[in-house]
Structure 1
Amino acid sequence: MAASFIPDFRLMWYLDELKKNEFVQFKQLLKQETVQRGLQPIPWAQVKKARRQDLASLMTQRYGEQPAWALALCIFPKIHRKDLCDKASRESAANAYRAHIQKKLISMWSRGAFTEIPGCFDQSLTCEEHESLEEYFTPRVPRRPRTVVLRALQRMGKTRFLMKVMLAWSDGTLYRDKFSFIFYLCCRELKQLRVTSLARLMCRERPDDSVPLADMVAQPERILFIIDSLEELQCTLTEPESELCRDWREERSVKTVLSSLLRRRILPESALLLAAMPMRPEALESKLDHPNMQELKCFQDSHVKQYFCCSFEDRGRALAAFSSVRNNEHLFTMCHVPLLCWMVCTSLKQEMERGRDLAATCCRSTSVFLSFMFQAFTPKGATRPSQQGQGLLKALCSLAAEGMWTDTWVFGEEELRRNGIADTDTPTLLDLRLFRKYSESGSSYSFIHACMQEFCAAMYYLLDSPRDHPSRAVMPIEALLLTYFRKDRASWVSLGCFLFGLLHESEQQRLDALLGMQRSRELAPQLLGCLRILAEIEDPEDQVEFLLLFYALFEVQSDAFASRLMSSLREAHFPLRERPDLAVAAYCLKYCSSLRELTVSVPEIFPEERGPDPMSSRTLLWWRQICSVLTANEHLHKLRVVDSVLGKWTLLILCCQLRQSTCPVQRLKLKDSGLSATDCTALASMLATNRKLTLLDLSDNKLAEGVSTLCAALRHPDCTLQTLVMAGCQICEHFCPHLSEVLLSNANLSHLDLSRNALMDEGVAQLCEALRQPTCSLQTLW
């Protein structure tokens, strides 16, 4: 338990605090105190020669752990070390707090314990996780605030991982000597509050007043604040200084209080551990004081495979199921959340028992969720849900829809009854592993995972009409799609994706057979019409999250549907942050026959480039398919790859397409794409053969020595480039002779940007000499 990690060594640690003369006095008083208390004394010869560690051991063996500790506490004031008694009192209260946190967390963890595999996947941190977490708060620079940001995709197990961190702290295996108090602040819960203070937020975790808040904050360096799901509050951290709190007791809006904490205006010496989505990590990083940015990977690929093998009794079946899931990158990514991995394994095991084709089931994440739902509501031996089961399913979906529109994830009895779920139904939903109790006290419940609530909400629109919903907050399907694809609600992650997946022909057939419904067939024209409006709007970059649209189309898996929608798309702008993003983008871009402008950002998501056979990797295959749109679309004139990390092979694949005579791209921007001098060879090869490119932007790449290679290609008489931007490319005066030759030999180059480079007077003079020559066609030089 939480308090057990100290007593074995506590007495020894406290004796170590004594000076030499104080330790001698302690021994003398120990001899007197044992006599006064009628205790059998330890032989003086042993006490006299004992060192601190030895004396602690002698006292514990003779009197027992607690009596020995009580003796020490009685003696400390008599040698004028009452400060040790005060310290012990504080530690005792801190241990009580640890025990409270541990009891609370174990109770919360047990409500999802059905996903555990003891000894393999449970509440314990792995050795690697433990080492990383300890290292995160090891000061890299003295006296610098300790802020760690764990970046992870939404719904990928951040909260469960943070629970494991707090459990490890509560049992003394993590941060034992660093933090006396840990406070967990869940932004999803906090956004319900209007006005609060940091003091009030801290009080939410305290079991009683055994440790006054003033005593806690007296040592702020011993406090760790864990902040979960920061994106839920949409904190921009841009409030004016005058609006921020300076006092931990000051009451303000939740956003202001958290912003004051994060920007180090309240308790600046405390430690912060944030879990947030990596939507714009650079924006978050710039607002915090020297944060330690880390990627959170709760479940590795190998863990998913191991979980399958542990879940299935037959290893052959386990590997067959894993292989089917592995072929769907979106579904496989979902399996990196232990709870969703359990759900997928449960669903596929039952599909195998029914003799269904796993490859067909795993083509779409929606299909796996639908199988799980119907297996839950279909009685054993039956082929479809009973009338009672159908009614409960509809009520559950009604509740989920209300929750999505009202941003509710924890439901009380009133919400349940309003949507048709009786008190007698909740035990059934708990047994079916669709619901879980949110707290031991009170009657509040949540879906087992937010993805399950989103799936049920999507199903609601196929089971019933929003006009008949008991809550006015539930809007029509057109409003749902506009809200989802415009990303107006940060918590809507997969809702639209599931809705489109349910429109797939095979899912419609299952719905018709199991529920006798035709409504799903009526929705397809509505959805297509709504999406066409989205695809044809002006300035789509500001109004549409293209990746969400791509995921939805990928889930439908209908060539005709995708073609009808994407054929009118003229611009697309999206980031490629994870492997599934590559897969869905590769699928959808091939239907964008009218695309004129494409903008992508590609962070470092190609680890296979470092492998023995990179060109055979799955991610590079998808990248090749994405790049193939450059030669398949005659209208695509603008390509921007920005804020990216293009490695050797990703750049080669891109340049290979740009070299083709069928590539229509005229304006190519590779700004801040992680390019280096060695990458200039591939760029030069492309420039030597491309006859349509008129603008090339290479700004903010570390080209340096590679400039001479580029200049050789730019001197080619057939080079059509008119504008070249190399701002901030670490070009020095040594490369100006090569650039001067380009100015004298390239008749097409009219605009050159060399700003933010250290050319020095010598380099500028060389360029100016070239500009004075009659053969120079340059019109603008920055």
Structure 2
Amino acid sequence: MITTPVESCTGRWLVPRMSAILCLSDAPHYTPSPEISPNALRARTEKSRWADKALLANQVGEAEMADSVQQQLAQTLELMTKEQLKEFQQLLHDQDLCKQSPGVPTTQPEKVDSMEVASLLVAQYGEQQAWDLALQTWEQMGLNELCARVQKEATLESGITEKYSKESGEMPCHTRSWKNEDIQQKFTQLLQRSRPRGYDFPLWMRKHGGTDDHKHLIGVGELFGPGHGTQGKPLTVILHGVAGIGKSTLARQVRRAWEEGRLYRDSFQHVFYFNCRELAQSRTLSLAELISKDWAGPAVPIGKILSQQKNLLFILDNLDEPKWDLKQHSSEFCLHWSQQQQVHTLLGSLLKKILFPGASLLITARITALGKLIPSLKQPRWVEVLGFSESARRDYFYTYFTDESQAIKAFSSVESNPALLTMCVMPLVSWLVCTCLKQQIDKGQELSLTCQTITALCLHYFFHILQVQSLGTKLWDFCSLAAKGTRQGKTLFFPEDLKKHGLDEDITSTLLKMAVLQEDPTSLSYSFMHLCFQEFFAAMSYALGDELISIKSMKDLVGQYEMVSVFGEPSTCFLFGLFSEQGMREMESIFKCQLSWKKRDNLLKLAKKQVNRTQQNLQPSCWDLLHSFYEIQNESFLTEVMSSVPEMRICVQTDMELLVFTFCIKFSQLLKRLKLNEGGLHGEAQRPSHVILFSLGPFTDAWWQIFFSIFSVDGSLQELDLSGNFLSYSAVQTLCEALKSPHCHLKTLRSP
């Protein structure tokens, strides 16, 4: 059957999964019917229950009711009879929101179960609008009891929120600090895996190869619960993820929630939190001394506390930061809790279960550092922190801005910048964006944030919001301090460290007021407000320096010994961003100097060599390379380097990965065929120049908007296979606009 994408994908809110081939060379141009504007839809739903729900205390407090919105909607739909569910679908089909395009034949709703109905509703309209549309339809059907039940649950949630706010005495702050953890972690997605990220999905794969990696989303309360498909409970859980994704904040929240009796009270009698960044300042410790540092309760003999191993949880935050060697020989391990040992030996004994084999461990680490941890771990559970979902980003804005009208304006401005909205998957980026927009609002300025990369956002924040350039020549010294610390794996700085770099008490006080630095509460030392901030200023120091870029200097920059690890470090990504055309202009304006173009060229040559090396060895570091390439935004370089890329089979897990992938791959001149979401890693043999893209899904409208950006530059893609995927009406509109692009040379489109 030959059909247009509009005929196969619009006019219904439920789309049949049908195979269709569109020969674009023979197809007429179609103009989709106008849809209700996003602003009009937002006006109907901004005061809905899901905007209110964004104000709940925190994610940990909701851990035990961590079902997704889709699941909650499906559970409500299950209360309906089959006849009512069929009527529900028909009414949705007939409503204005779901009217079909003119000329498209009417199709009756399919007989599907409640979960599929909920899935399609959420995928097409988003969480807020799906609930509002469902409520409106139930009212139209006269299902008053069902409506009352849903509204009662919403009222109960609001009451819990109000009660918590009164009891805790916590009121929303006018100025949100990065340390306000409640508004960061309640929306974060957690993905349980059977193996660590980066060891199973190499980017460029010339041969077919399956994986037994099983993945599913979980809530915080399930971290130490029975595994998926097994009754076993883990003793070690590794929270891993990219820089700025919220790992440490989540770890602190687990400890806090346990103290308040909201999490793991039945599982653990004692929970101890240790920041390995701070522990690295000590040379030797016993476990007893370590516990005493974190003990805030009444005096109890250490031996009594440690007598029940199975009731203990040790949280080891930032275990990957210090330059520790955790691969000790068996003779070096600590065998008793009172024994004095070097800190890394003590921690290594806990990891290998030599000391307290029955105790539980919760460890946070960056993905790029997992290699040095794996040999020391005993049957860990791998949980990747994915950051904010699309709807959670909106909820975050509503929590950051206590004034609802400001939240609406701020989020609307970000929605107009798809790349920026995508980067907000990272809690750190969401906070930076909200902080920048808050200042514009307070100054009565027009809301505008045009940043396309994380480097550009940091430049805007530090030099347009905080005005760090007011430090004058001392800014050079501050960058030098950050770079030296990064090379040495040092994140805590004492007053003498600052003085050695020419930073006196006045400069330190200014940096504290700007919230670039923070004072450590337990010792007279300072650290950057976030480790990524230190890595950003370290990259600036390297860009400003005279040393030419080489393999050795790159290793020195990030303090790594293996080249494969270098491109995964934030300092490297920031360096690429600073050597973009925009980055170089801003740097030269700030520091009143000329940056070295030769240095930039050497960086690109080094990256190209790494691409060639990666293709041959199938290293899992290619996501890091692509992220660096995205930051530099150099089209001529990308056209050259991506045109040498062979066939690939790649799985994206977040919108950020999709953004990076689509931006880079669209410059490939060899890409002829692209297949989306084949449904498994084992599939038909690849044809020449064939790329297969997998995703955890579901695909939202924003996801499709990013994906179809592959047609924004002149490319070589001739065949696109979307069969088996759901496209909403809005997604089809986006596709049709992309097909009209003069850069689109597509000949065949296989649509749902």
TM-score band, normalised by the shorter chain?
Answer: 0.5 to 0.7
Which of 548, 555, 568 aligns to 2:624? It is 548
Q: Could you say which residue in structure 2 is the equivalent of 1:427?
A: 509
Alignment of 1:380-419 (within 5 A): 385-386=469-470, 389-419=471-501
Please give the secondary structure, in 1, of the residue aligned with 2:239.
strand
Which of 254, 261, 268 aligns to 2:357? It is 268
For residues 232 and 649 of structure 1, do their structure 2 counterparts lie closer, same or farther at Cα, with a shift above 3 Å needed?
farther
Q: Could you say which residue in structure 2 is the equivalent of 1:708?
A: none
Tell me, in whole angstroms, the C-alpha distance in 2 between the residues paired with 1:154 and 1:286: 22
Instruction: State the 1:369 CA deviation.
Output: 0.8
Please give the secondary structure, in 2, of the residue aligned with 1:554.
helix
For residues 450 and 213 of structure 1, do their structure 2 counterparts lie closer, same or farther at Cα, with a shift above 3 Å needed?
same
Instruction: State the 1:436 CA deviation.
Output: 1.0
Q: Does 1:216 align with 2:305?
A: yes
Instruction: State the 1:527 CA deviation.
Output: 2.2
Tell me, in whole angstroms, the C-alpha distance in 1 between the residues paired with 2:496 and 2:323: 29
Q: Does 1:606 align with 2:669?
A: no
Q: Does 1:618 align with 2:703?
A: yes
Tell me, in whole angstroms, the C-alpha distance in 2 between the residues paired with 1:329 and 1:113: 19
Which of 327, 352, 358 aligns to 2:448? It is 358
State, as a whole percentage, how many aligned pairs show the same letter: 28
Q: Does 1:456 align with 2:537?
A: yes
Instruction: State the 1:319 CA deviation.
Output: 2.5
Please give the secondary structure, in 2, of the residue aligned with 1:327.
helix
Give the aligned residue type for 1:403.
G
Give the aligned residue type for 1:362.
C
Q: Does 1:445 align with 2:507?
A: no
Please give the secondary structure, in 2, of the residue aligned with 1:266.
coil
Structure with bigger gyration radius = 1
CA deviation string 1:503-562 (max 9, x = no partner) = 232333333334432225453223233334434448753778322221122122221132
Tell me, in whole angstroms, the C-alpha distance in 1 between the residues paired with 2:339 and 2:359: 17
For residues 137 and 344 of structure 1, do their structure 2 counterparts lie closer, same or farther at Cα, with a shift above 3 Å needed?
same
CA deviation string 1:609-649 (max 9, x = no partner) = xxxxx7x66269639959x9998599xxxxxxxxxxx9954
Please give the secondary structure, in 2, of the residue aligned with 1:167.
helix
Instruction: State the 1:498 CA deviation.
Output: 1.5
Instruction: State the 1:161 CA deviation.
Output: 1.7
Q: Could you say which residue in structure 2 is the equivalent of 1:506?
A: 582
Instruction: State the 1:445 CA deviation.
Output: 1.0
Which of 313, 333, 336 aligns to 2:425? It is 333
Tell me, in whole angstroms, the C-alpha distance in 2 between the residues paired with 1:326 and 1:624: 10
Contact between 1:161 and 1:298, CA under 8 Å: does it hold in 2? no
Contact between 2:650 and 2:693, CA under 8 Å: does it hold in 1? no
For residues 485 and 279 of structure 1, do their structure 2 counterparts lie closer, same or farther at Cα, with a shift above 3 Å needed?
closer
For residues 464 and 538 of structure 1, do their structure 2 counterparts lie closer, same or farther at Cα, with a shift above 3 Å needed?
closer
Tell me, in whole angstroms, the C-alpha distance in 2 between the residues paired with 1:597 and 1:412: 58
Q: Could you say which residue in structure 1 is the equivalent of 2:183?
A: 121
Unpaired runs of 5+ residues, structure 1, are 1-105, 380-384, 468-473, 609-613, 635-645, 651-661, 664-681, 683-782
Question: Looking at both structures, which has the greater relative contact order when contacts are Cα pairs under 8 Å and sequence separation is at least 6?
Answer: 2
Q: Could you say which residue in structure 1 is the equivalent of 2:249?
A: 160
Which of 529, 546, 552 aligns to 2:605? It is 529
Contact between 2:188 and 2:387, CA under 8 Å: does it hold in 1? no
Which of 573, 578, 595 aligns to 2:654? It is 578
Which of 385, 394, 397 aligns to 1:308? It is 397
Contact between 1:183 and 1:226, CA under 8 Å: does it hold in 2? yes
For residues 304 and 126 of structure 1, do their structure 2 counterparts lie closer, same or farther at Cα, with a shift above 3 Å needed?
closer
Q: Could you say which residue in structure 2 is the equivalent of 1:319?
A: 411
278-287 vs 414-423, greater mean Cα deviation: 278-287
For residues 218 and 349 of structure 1, do their structure 2 counterparts lie closer, same or farther at Cα, with a shift above 3 Å needed?
closer
Tell me, in whole angstroms, the C-alpha distance in 2 between the residues paired with 1:589 and 1:163: 38
Instruction: State the 1:375 CA deviation.
Output: 2.5
Tell me, in whole angstroms, the C-alpha distance in 1 between the residues paired with 2:444 and 2:545: 29
For residues 225 and 572 of structure 1, do their structure 2 counterparts lie closer, same or farther at Cα, with a shift above 3 Å needed?
same
Give the aligned residue type for 2:177.
F
For residues 232 and 618 of structure 1, do their structure 2 counterparts lie closer, same or farther at Cα, with a shift above 3 Å needed?
same
CA deviation string 1:672-719 (max 9, x = no partner) = xxxxxxxxxx9xxxxxxxxxxxxxxxxxxxxxxxxxxxxxxxxxxxxx
Tell me, in whole angstroms, the C-alpha distance in 2 between the residues paired with 1:456 and 1:607: 37
Instruction: State the 1:573 CA deviation.
Output: 9.1
For residues 235 and 606 of structure 1, do their structure 2 counterparts lie closer, same or farther at Cα, with a shift above 3 Å needed?
farther
Q: Could you say which residue in structure 2 is the equivalent of 1:752?
A: none
Contact between 1:324 and 1:358, CA under 8 Å: does it hold in 2? no
For residues 534 and 122 of structure 1, do their structure 2 counterparts lie closer, same or farther at Cα, with a shift above 3 Å needed?
closer
Instruction: State the 1:590 CA deviation.
Output: 3.8
CA deviation string 1:287-325 (max 9, x = no partner) = 866655545456444343233345455345312333145
Alignment of 1:634-645 (within 5 A): none
CA deviation string 1:440-487 (max 9, x = no partner) = 542x111111111111112223444359xxxxxx98468648959934
Give the aligned residue type for 1:606.
G
Give the aligned residue type for 2:569.
V
Instruction: State the 1:366 CA deviation.
Output: 1.4
Please give the secondary structure, in 1, of the residue aligned with 2:364.
strand
Tell me, in whole angstroms, the C-alpha distance in 2 between the residues paired with 1:420 and 1:538: 42
Contact between 1:157 and 1:298, CA under 8 Å: does it hold in 2? yes
Give the aligned residue type for 1:618.
W
Please give the secondary structure, in 2, of the residue aligned with 1:272.
strand
Tell me, in whole angstroms, the C-alpha distance in 2 between the residues paired with 1:563 and 1:296: 32
Instruction: State the 1:419 CA deviation.
Output: 1.7
Please give the secondary structure, in 2, of the residue aligned with 1:421.
coil
Please give the secondary structure, in 2, of the residue aligned with 1:114.
coil
Tell me, in whole angstroms, the C-alpha distance in 1 between the residues paired with 2:436 and 2:505: 27
Alignment of 1:486-505 (within 5 A): 486-488=563-565, 493-505=569-581
CA deviation string 1:552-586 (max 9, x = no partner) = 22122221132244445569897644332232122
Contact between 1:576 and 1:582, CA under 8 Å: does it hold in 2? yes
TM-score w.r.t. the length of structure 1 is: 0.54
Please give the secondary structure, in 2, of the residue aligned with 1:346.
helix
Tell me, in whole angstroms, the C-alpha distance in 2 between the residues paired with 1:457 and 1:309: 33
Alignment of 1:10-29 (within 5 A): none
Tell me, in whole angstroms, the C-alpha distance in 1 between the residues paired with 2:186 and 2:503: 36
Please give the secondary structure, in 2, of the residue aligned with 1:446.
strand
Q: Could you say which residue in structure 1 is the equivalent of 2:635?
A: 559
Which of 336, 341, 353 aligns to 1:247? It is 336
Tell me, in whole angstroms, the C-alpha distance in 1 between the residues paired with 2:704 and 2:325: 33
Structure with greater helix share of residues: 1
Contact between 1:150 and 1:295, CA under 8 Å: does it hold in 2? yes
Contact between 2:188 and 2:386, CA under 8 Å: does it hold in 1? no
Contact between 1:567 and 1:591, CA under 8 Å: does it hold in 2? yes
Contact between 1:324 and 1:362, CA under 8 Å: does it hold in 2? no
Give the aligned residue type for 1:460.
S
Unpaired runs of 5+ residues, structure 2, are 1-168, 192-217, 672-686, 727-744
Tell me, in whole angstroms, the C-alpha distance in 1 between the residues paired with 2:620 and 2:378: 32
Contact between 2:388 and 2:424, CA under 8 Å: does it hold in 1? no
